[in-house]
Amino acid sequence: MIIHTLPTPLTQFLWNMFIGIALVITLYTCNFYYLVFLARQKRKTTKSIELKEIPTVTIQLPIYNEKYVAARLVNAVCAQDYPKEKLCIQILDDSDDDTFHILEDLVNDYQKKGFDITHVRRGNRKGYKAGALRHAMTFAKGDFVAIFDADFIPPSWFLKKALSYFCKPEIGLVQCRWGHVNEKYSALTMAQALSLDFHFLIEQKAKSNSHLFMNFNGTAGVWRRECIEDSGGWHTATLVEDLDLSYRAQMKGWKCVFIPDIVVDAELPVQMNAAKRQQFRWAKGSIQCAIKLLGDVAIKKIPVDTKVQAFVQLTRHIAFPLMLVQFLILPILLASKINLYIISGLPALTILAYLAMGPLVYIMIIRDMYNTSWKSKILSYFYMVFYSAGMSVNNTVAVFDALFGKKNEFLRTPKFGIINKNDDWRDKAYALPFTKTTLLEIFFGVYGIIGIFIAIFSSNPIFAPIIGIQVVGFFYIAYLSISHSASRKGKSRNIPVVSSNQRMASAYYKFAMGGIMGLIIIGVVMAFEEYSTTIYPIDQARGLLLRIQATSDPQAIHNDLKNVMILLPKSGNPVWIFPTEDTDFGLMQGDLQTMLGTVDKISSTSPDSAAFHAGMLNVHYQASAIVFNLLDATPYMYVSISNILFGCIWVAVIIGIFTVLKRKRERLRSYDLEDS
């Protein structure tokens, strides 16, 4: 039987915060379901028209250090089924590595073949991608501008088909759907592919077929040049110049449309640290745009539901820090025996609600999106669940970066030209090391394991799988972040010999990694031991006191009081900040001794006597008071001075190992340069 207690002021505050966060997250979730409803509605979609006159088009290719995919992109663009005299190709190359030489030779070859193709070099990266696009607009040709990132492979028919959708003069942007050339490469790429499909086939489709604002995705789209200029051009204030420009254009009255039938294949990030960098940029950039644009959205004369949807889209990444706060609060509420069930006494309804709001609905959406091939996407969905849960730490850091106004460099997502399952990227340039965010992911994973034990020992096992999903996500992201940072140089068939310096540095790397994993295991074991010896006895004592309140058997009460006195500390006060008498264990032991004396006195009197009833009433009242005192004390047991000191030392040691690991990685790279 699960015994619930009334909340104390602290737990009441945490409970209110927990419920408030749950409501906010539920609203964001319900908004996605609303977009699903809109996407399924049969509305008047944008019609294509036959091009009576072939317009001149500028294709802009912003590139920075993409030596593995740059040539593939340029070749695909030059293979367009479009008249050369109507095509202007601008390669906006800010590279400072071999990419420059690859593109220089390629441009010379295509110029000899009669292509109007230029290799644009600014000499700096001011404004990053947005700066390159803004610079190139000054010498662009024609009325339309198509943009492709380096990892995209536009089909030969792309331009003619995309331009045919500019059927009305108010259409300023045609955004096309992203395909995935390497979706089946790994669980990571499968999760990303499904997440992107949700964005395009649900969100973009719903907004394009209505008056809601949709966004340009930065690539695989065609702009009307007049729209770009009328909207103020490319701005460099945020990390998502595409979202910024598309919102400013729609506030000016331009229409942006999404064409799901035009699919442009692209390469998904295969390295976890690259995927995290991409997600970080998108999350931070969205919040930056919210800060920049929501004021204008609020005062513009646009429909109310458009304003609401704009607010939701620009602020939706706020859900990630809210999820983490909720994740931190849940074990505390469970340890405090607060009722978290939808209907008291029916815990099954809680898990049914989670299933209904999550997997069941998403599986129905997937079935509608993919028709006959939907079953093959179910595994991708579960990958996506763990991927999204684990990515919440990375995206939370991004959100706070944006809120605090921290200026970040535009860090592009590295690609390696990976298409087939047997393609390897580990011995290539651009591979990213894991960052300090990985330590936070490990922390939340360990905290979640403790939360699972709390759920089980507090007789709330129904919450264990809910916490477990996030725990698996945190460790999944952290594990891939670390394992994808490990160098395999020397294991390739092309590099059979490894120097002694490389072997030494690599061994040091493995030793440091082993140290981190060992500390994690030690931390989990010690946390479990601390809970079982410190917190769990108090939970047991509280349960016995609740049982005392429900009985009038003096002998049973006597035995329970003896056990409570053994379970509780003999002295001390866990509230080390502004302690009160209510949480003093020495005083509680005194009250228990008084209760024991009262029970022993009335045990020899008649159960029907007034003295027996008065004494029993006093015992019940004192038991209730001690229960509330223990509820006040329990949260502070988690944040005792010893726990805080141990936690600080534990984190400091991991950071120290991380620092050593970083230095050894840099030394390993220096060895690679010496040997090359």
- Is a pLDDT exceeding 70 seen at residue 343? no
- Is a pLDDT exceeding 70 seen at residue 49? yes
Tell me what pLDDT residue 495 has: 38
- Is a pLDDT exceeding 70 seen at residue 393? yes
In angstroms, the CA 520 to CA 238 distance is 37
In angstroms, the CA 273 to CA 280 distance is 10
**Tens digits of residue pLDDT in 282-304:** 999 999 999 999 999 999 999 99
Average pLDDT over residues 188-193: 96
- Is a pLDDT exceeding 90 seen at residue 214? yes
Residue 388 lies in a domain: no
- Beta strand pairing call for 221-224 and 144-147: antiparallel
Candidate list 94, 197, 244, 560, residue with the active-site label: 94
> For the chain, what percent of residues have pLDDT higher than 90?
55
Could you give the C-alpha distances from 33 to 24, 187, 406, in angstroms and in order? 15, 25, 33
Residue 244 lies in a domain: yes
Contacts of 285 (CB under 8 A, 6+ apart): 238, 239, 240, 243, 402
Helix (H, G, I), strand (E, B) or coil at 343: coil
Does the annotation count 94 as an active-site position? yes
Structure tokens at 297: 């959205």
In angstroms, the CA 180 to CA 264 distance is 8
Average pLDDT over residues 411-418: 90
Residue 129 lies in a domain: yes
Q: How confident is the model at residue 667 (pLDDT cuts 50, 70, 90)?
A: low
Instruction: For the chain, report the end-to-end CA distance as a whole number of angstroms.
Output: 68
- Is a pLDDT exceeding 90 seen at residue 11? no
Is 334:454 a contact under the CB 8 Å cutoff?
yes
In angstroms, the CA 183 to CA 110 distance is 31
Element (H, E) at 91: strand 87-93
**Tens digits of residue pLDDT in 505-543:** 556 556 666 666 777 777 777 777 777 888 888 888 988
Does the annotation count 675 as an active-site position? no
Tell me what pLDDT residue 1 has: 42
pTM tops 0.85, yes or no: no
Residue 405 lies in a domain: no
Residue 200 lies in a domain: yes
Tell me what pLDDT residue 536 has: 83
Q: How confident is the model at residue 497 (pLDDT cuts 50, 70, 90)?
A: very low
The domain boundary residue, chosen from 266, 298, 330:
298
DSSP-assigned beta bridge partners for residue 144: 57, 224
For residue 82, how many other CB atoms are within 10 A of its CB?
19
Residue 663 lies in a domain: yes
Tell me what pLDDT residue 463 has: 86
Residue 10 lies in a domain: no
Domain that holds residue 563: 489-676
**Tens digits of residue pLDDT in 598-620:** 998 998 888 888 889 999 999 99
Average pLDDT over residues 48-70: 92
Q: Is the dihedral of CA 165, 83, 65, 488 positive or negative?
A: positive
In angstroms, the CA 139 to CA 149 distance is 20
CATH of the domain at 255: 3.90.550.10
- Is a pLDDT exceeding 70 seen at residue 583? yes
What are the backbone angles phi and psi of residue 603, rounded to the nearest 5°?
A: -65, -25
In angstroms, the CA 115 to CA 85 distance is 8
Is 631:542 a contact under the CB 8 Å cutoff?
yes
Contacts of 571 (CB under 8 A, 6+ apart): 585, 586, 589
**Tens digits of residue pLDDT in 99-141:** 999 999 999 999 999 999 999 999 888 999 999 999 999 999 9
- Is a pLDDT exceeding 60 seen at residue 345? no
Concatenated DSSP letters for 467-523? HHHHHHHHHHHHHHHHHTTS--TTTSTT-----HHHHHHHHHHHHHHHHHHHHHHHH
Candidate list 242, 539, 560, 584, residue with the active-site label: 242
List the one residue out of 379, 350, 549, 580 whose CA is nearest residue 467. Answer: 350
List the one residue out of 530, 493, 492, 486 whose CA is nearest residue 511. Answer: 486
- Is a pLDDT exceeding 60 seen at residue 490? no
Residue 362 lies in a domain: no
The domain boundary residue, chosen from 298, 319, 353:
298
The domain boundary residue, chosen from 230, 265, 298:
298
In angstroms, the CA 23 to CA 331 distance is 19
Is 563:596 a contact under the CB 8 Å cutoff?
no
**Tens digits of residue pLDDT in 245-258:** 999 999 999 999 99
- Rg (C-alpha) for the chain, rounded Å, is 31
Is 167:48 a contact under the CB 8 Å cutoff?
yes
Domains identified in the chain, total number: 2
Tell me what pLDDT residue 107 has: 96
In angstroms, the CA 297 to CA 244 distance is 12
Tell me what pLDDT residue 661 has: 64
Tell me what pLDDT residue 498 has: 45
Comparing 50 with 672, the larger pLDDT belongs to: 50
Element (H, E) at 152: strand 152-153
Tell me what pLDDT residue 670 has: 57
